[in-house]
A = this chain, B = another copy of it.
């Protein structure tokens, strides 16, 4: 993997700290405890600047660092696209993870990611990347239509239906007890 050299050519670099993820992890006590000791970086995004219009493609690399909050793996905030009918594509460059997906109606799906895998997130599906490898970064190359826009607020409010947590050293998918189903939003 030689993303290091390439990353220098990106226009923006976003660092997402633990403090920006309040309320997103299932185990709130572990979250508070971790945050008290160190507001660490959970993931980073490197992106190329392009005009945000249909026909252009925004693209970049995300690095999700290894770690857990309680037994829940480090993950991205997750988002719908503001322009709901737009897809997103991920090529896994390094590591192991899962892509957790959900429609506004509450359908859910999960795809396993390993080096060389492509995950296609169809239009309408919210998506969150999760690093299930405790030993190293999950490195993803992502591409999406430049007019897509990001809606982070819906997921912050309602959560994902599922969480991915570690049980006996393995990632398993479980229900999120704090998920708000469509009828109670």
Contact = CB atoms under 8 A, between A and B. Distances in A.
A48 B3 CA distance: 25
A48 B85 CA distance: 19
Nearest to A117: B6
A167 interface: no
- Majority SS at the chain A contact face: loop
A117 B86 CA distance: 25
A116 B59 contact: no
Interface in A48-102: 48, 50, 54-57, 59, 83, 85-89, 91
Number of identical monomers bound together in the oligomeric complex:
2
A118 B3 CA distance: 10
A141 to B, nearest CB: 6
A59 to B, nearest CB: 6
Nearest to A3: B116
A60 B57 CA distance: 16
Interface of A: 1-3, 5-6, 9, 48, 50, 54-57, 59, 83, 85-89, 91, 115-118, 120, 122-123, 141, 143-145
Given A5-B116, A59-B89, A59-B118, 20 more contacts: A2-B116, A6-B116, A9-B118, A48-B118, A48-B120, A50-B87, A50-B122, A54-B85, A54-B145, A55-B83, A55-B86, A55-B87, A55-B123, A56-B123, A57-B57, A57-B88, A57-B89, A57-B120, A59-B143, A143-B143
Q: Which 9 A-B pairs have the closest CB atoms?
A: A2-B116, A55-B86, A55-B85, A143-B143, A57-B87, A55-B123, A57-B89, A6-B116, A56-B87
